[in-house]
Amino acid sequence: MKELFPIKQVMGFIFSLVLTAVALAVYFFDMSFTAGMTILLVTAFIQAGLQLVMFMHAGESEDKAHIYTNVYYGIFIAIVTILGTLLTMVWGYV
Amino acid sequence: MEFFERFAIPHPSPAIYASMVAIGLTVIAIIAGLTYFKKWGYLWREWLTTVDHKRIGIMYLISALLMLFRGGADAIMMRAQLSMPENKLLDAQHYNEIFTTHGVVMIMFMAMPFIMALMNFVVPLQIGARDVAFPRLNALSFWLFFMGAMLFNISFVIGGSPDAGWTSYFPLAGTEFSESVGTNYYMIALQIAGIGTLATGINFMTTILKMRAPGMTLMKMPMFTWSAFITNIIIVFAFPVLTVALAMGTLDRLFASNFFTTNNGGMDMLWANLFWVWGHPEVYILVLPAFGIYSEIISTFARRNLYGYKSMVASMVIISLLSFLVWVHHFFTMGQGAFVNSIFSITTMAIAVPTGVKIFNWLFTLWKGKIVITTPMLYSLLFIPLFTIGGVTGVMLGMSAADYQYHNTMFLVAHFHLVIIPGVVFAMLAGLTYYWPKMFGFMLNERLGKLSAWIISISTLVAFIPMFFSGLDGQARRMYTYSEQAGFTMWNMISFVGAAGLAIGFALIVYNIYYSIRYAPRDIGSDPWDARSLEWATHSPVPEYNFAIVPNVDSTEAFWDAKKKGHKLFKGELEKIHMPNNSPIPFIMSSIFFVWGFSFVFAMWIPLIIATIGIFGCMAYQSFEKDHGRYISVEEIKETEEKLGGPTV
């Protein structure tokens, strides 16, 4: 019985509920924009990672290497695009 | 009557009315012809509902050629207008509309489907697969592209063409300065076609990763398949940016949001930024498959294996990363500081290194090769010097300080045409000639083919080299006329002659197709070029299941090994083959998408809602449909193989 119980998935599910609750706190508690945004960004990325790895089984098939390469590539491009845009449009704009 | 007033053209001319009549007559002629020859059933069964990657490839090809002539007609009109000072052929508004549609049609609806055509046709054959990973999604991709293209093309007779340039920069493209529905067409047609392209990207990534023949590791894939793989990765990561930017632009235009406006916290330059975040990778989406085609052709007709396979692959991987790091070089003059411009200048220079590696690999492949000059090879050889002119001037433009002189002049126009025409168009024409016998079972005439290659190459130089000079003299792009005192007359007249030459060259290609259909011999076998990779190991034309027995691969040139080194390509016995069924869903869903887009353009909300429900209805139907495909029996395979002339190797 113990082997059949999906303890990992249940823990993951509880953890994702906790993350959702923490994100919701931003709405209910009075805090600065920066603090709220930081909480939202951090919980959002942990949540996305959790969903991808645990519930979408990213690391469980023989395509593990392909999937993670794609994910890292995507993260790299997203970061470059966002930081590059900020650099061009805000920080480096004279 | 009031309802119909919105469909009127805001800026009509006799030419547009003539086009309306011509379009009407063509539609009637097509319908009458199909009815008279009783071809409706054939069209529906064999083409509109097909999921066969080869037929989808051919449909992409036909669309690309049609759009080439539409974009070409735009180009001729522009060059004719500019050939003389103070010319009255077109007025400012028409000129704006024509350069806009020329750009969009040539990039999105000519170059893109052309590479899609070759990828669709060639990649599954090169990797020894029976079809792509998701055949029905592939059909949906094509029909979404096709409906997007048609939606864009009717703009000039219903409601007015877009006129804010193919880059459609805000605030010019906003409702304040572009009141007509033209820019709505731009936003929504590109959105629909873009969804199709994104689906193709996912489809081909999966196909190449999961459906290769036994023994074909990633490093044993032919170079065109590698280039297609890298291209599709770039598509998957770049196109979502366009999707989002277009959605934001649509919201701005139709729902009065403020993403790209100049007030209320909007940022008009953000459009330019997002457009080029997609736009620069798009350049590599176009040129990498072209490089793949050149690699195949050069190695085939130098009769040598490709020099530096690993460095070819590495350079493409590096290009795919660097292509996302250079986009700001499209707007060095926008106002960001020297620090930012320097960063993007350096990344721009860096991308010349992997490109240079590829050029040298081709040259080393030619070195000591036994070169056979055929039409595809002639295009590939002419590509190298012409592309170098475009590339070197690109490095000039990439220096951000110097770019302040060149920005928005004809110098830039000359540069990107001399990159795209040799880089993409020559490759596509070479690929068309090279794969024609595989697609249709006969070859295009070599003499006419070589003649058109020369005419097109020389005309490209005549048309675009003068623009370097007039651009340095200060002729701005997108200017509809100029005075005689400006001194641009001679350069523009030479340019017009070149454009006319290009028209003759392309007309000659059409004549060549007609001539070859009538007179070319049909008994050319399955390998007329003495080629090296798997697509030539099956019959021409290719049977629907591609290979009777799945080939067995142990090098990058499996077919060459089979011919020359006694490698056994087809091991084992015939077995029944599992194939996907045809489906009308992609065509129907895309047609509803056309209605959806058209309603969206004119902000007709009720048809829009109905069409949206229709789209979701199609998806729901598709989800619950139980279709397990069908089997082709061994007897049927034997019969087909017998008819096509028995084993090929």
Domain range summary for chain A, segments of one domain joined by +: 1-56, 61-94
The pTM of the whole model exceeds 0.90: yes
Q: C-alpha dihedral over B549, B554, B557, B559, to 10 degrees?
A: -30
Q: What share of chain A is helix, strand, coil (3-state, %, to 5)?
A: 80, 0, 20
**Is the CB of residue B326 less than 8 Å away from at least one CB of chain A?**
no
CATH superfamily ID and name for B48-285? Cytochrome c oxidase-like, subunit I domain (1.20.210.10)
Q: How far apart are CA B213 and CA B202, in angstroms?
A: 19
Q: How far apart are CA B413 and CA B475, in angstroms?
A: 11
Contact yes or no for B277 and A76 at CB 8 A: no
Contact B581, B629 (CB under 8 A): yes
Contact yes or no for A84 and B325 at CB 8 A: yes
Which of B237, B325, B336 is the closest to A88 by Cβ?
B336
Residues contacting B465, CB < 8 A, separation 6+: B389, B414
**Which pLDDT score, from 0 to 100, does residue B643 have?**
86
**Which pLDDT score, from 0 to 100, does residue B84 have?**
94
**Which pLDDT score, from 0 to 100, does residue B285 have?**
95
Which of B209, B269, B274 is the closest to A66 by Cβ?
B209
Per domain, the residue ranges of chain B are 48-285
Q: At what angle do helices B223-255 and B182-210 cross, to 10 degrees?
A: 150
DSSP B507-535: HHHHHHHHHHHHHS-S---S-TT---SGG
Q: Residue B455 has which token pair? A: 């005419």
**Which pLDDT score, from 0 to 100, does residue B413 have?**
96
Contact yes or no for A73 and B237 at CB 8 A: yes
Contact yes or no for B237 and A74 at CB 8 A: yes
Q: Residue B367 has which token pair? A: 């070195």
Q: How far apart are CA A28 and CA A25, in angstroms?
A: 5
**Which pLDDT score, from 0 to 100, does residue A7 have?**
84
Contact yes or no for A92 and B325 at CB 8 A: no
Given a cut of 50, the residues of chain B with pLDDT beneath it are none
**Is the CB of residue A69 less than 8 Å away from at least one CB of chain B?**
no
Q: What is the pLDDT along chain A (94 residues), one digit of tens a residue?
A: 667 888 888 888 999 999 999 999 898 988 899 999 999 999 999 999 888 888 888 778 888 888 888 889 889 999 999 999 999 988 888 7
Q: Please give the ipTM for the structure prediction.
A: 0.83
**Which pLDDT score, from 0 to 100, does residue B397 have?**
93
CA B635 to chain A, closest CA, distance in angstroms equals 36
pLDDT tens column, B411-455: 999 999 999 999 999 999 999 999 999 999 999 999 999 999 999
Interface residue of B210, B259, B273 to substitute, partner A, most A CBs within 10 Å: B273
Residue B446, φ and ψ in degrees, nearest 5: -70, -40
Of B4, B10, B1, residue with least CA distance to B157: B10
Contact yes or no for B209 and A63 at CB 8 A: yes
Q: Residue B588 has which token pair? A: 């129907």
**Is the CB of residue A93 less than 8 Å away from at least one CB of chain B?**
yes
**Which pLDDT score, from 0 to 100, does residue A62 have?**
81
Q: Residue B177 has which token pair? A: 């300065």
Q: C-alpha dihedral over B536, B541, B547, B552, to 10 degrees?
A: 0
**Which pLDDT score, from 0 to 100, does residue A65 have?**
86
CA B331 to chain A, closest CA, distance in angstroms equals 10
User: In A, which residues are within 8 Å of B335 by CB distance?
Assistant: 93-94
